[in-house]
Amino acid sequence: MTTATATALPLFEPAQEVAGRPSFWSRALHSPTFMAGAVITATIVALVVLSPVIGRYSPDALDPLHPLSGPSALHWLGTDELGRDTWSRVLYGGRTDLQVGVLAVIFPFCFGVFIGTVCGYFGGRLDTIVMRVVDVVLAFPFYVLIIALVFAVGVGTHGIYIAFGLTDWVVYARTTRSATLLARNLDWVAAAQGGGLSRARVLWRHILPNTITQAIVYSMSDIVIVILAVVALGYLGLGIQPPAPDWGSMIYDGQNFLQNDQWMAVFPGIAVVFTGIGLSLLGDGLADVLRPE
């Protein structure tokens, strides 16, 4: 049986294009979630970074003539009971909080991803030991651990960094380990090893880019978690110590004035909420954009 249509095979298929994959930025620009998150976060970061410029007063400057004043031309967001300008304090407080948030997450991220990858790939005794440690840490309620550690190590930012460093890595370790376990059995890993590439190369250059996505996305919301924890610590006097402004202590201080001078607590609160929204949307958006389809 012959057919007029199927030809002796040209292995080449010139008519067929390889559908181009839009670049990262193109995909990012088309993801509403990512854009929303990026815009909000970028705005907040910009404002906070520019605080010396747009903050009209020093955060510690007292204006004894206008304590507890509402929003006005002189003080855009009002003043607290000591006459300190709320707008400036929100901006400088943002600096403190965002800085602490990001720095407190970096070490857990790096260490957690590293140890999770190693455990997932090699298994064995190391895996067993590390996972038991993870189980122990996760067994404690998060805030209990943080508070206990800050209390033990000492208050202030260094205490916060140490407390998070010791406890926050477990989530990254676990998610990365699961992702690595899954990836380890896939054919393309076998192919990479079979191609004569060293195990280290396969692990860090081939497997890791595929397993790190969840960790990256989680780190965004982790920053928010840290900021909220710092706020909570502030309530117990274990947070950022005065006179450095931070949103948590501002909200705490403003509690007493909620009846009449709500702005003292409300504005920092709004700042926390917006930061949380921005980072969460950014994290979600990243998850979408990083998916390798």
Using the minimum distance from each CB to other proteins, give the nearer residue, 12 or 73: 12
User: Least Å distance between CB 224 and other proteins?
Assistant: 27
User: Least Å distance between CB 202 and other proteins?
Assistant: 10
Q: Give me the residue label for tokens 């929100």.
A: 90
Using the minimum distance from each CB to other proteins, give the nearer residue, 153 or 197: 197
State the Cα–Cα distance between residues 119 and 131, nearest whole angstrom: 8
User: Least Å distance between CB 17 and other proteins?
Assistant: 8
Site residues, other proteins (CB under 8 A): 1-16, 18-21, 186-188, 190-197, 201, 205-206, 209-210, 292-293
For the chain, the residue count is 293
Using the minimum distance from each CB to other proteins, give the nearer residue, 33 or 221: 33
Using the minimum distance from each CB to other proteins, give the nearer residue, 56 or 201: 201
User: Least Å distance between CB 3 and other proteins?
Assistant: 4
* 3 state SS of 262: coil
State the Cα–Cα distance between residues 187 and 190, nearest whole angstrom: 5
Using the minimum distance from each CB to other proteins, give the nearer residue, 26 or 72: 26
* 3 state SS of 270: helix
Find, among 215, 203, 250, the residue nearest to 87 by Cα. 250
User: Least Å distance between CB 8 and other proteins?
Assistant: 7
Own/partner pairs, 4-9, CB within 8 angstroms, 24+ separation:
none
Task: Verify cis geometry, omega within 30 degrees of 0, for the bond prior to 243.
Answer: yes
As beta bridge partners, residue 79 has 85
What is the residue type of 138?
L
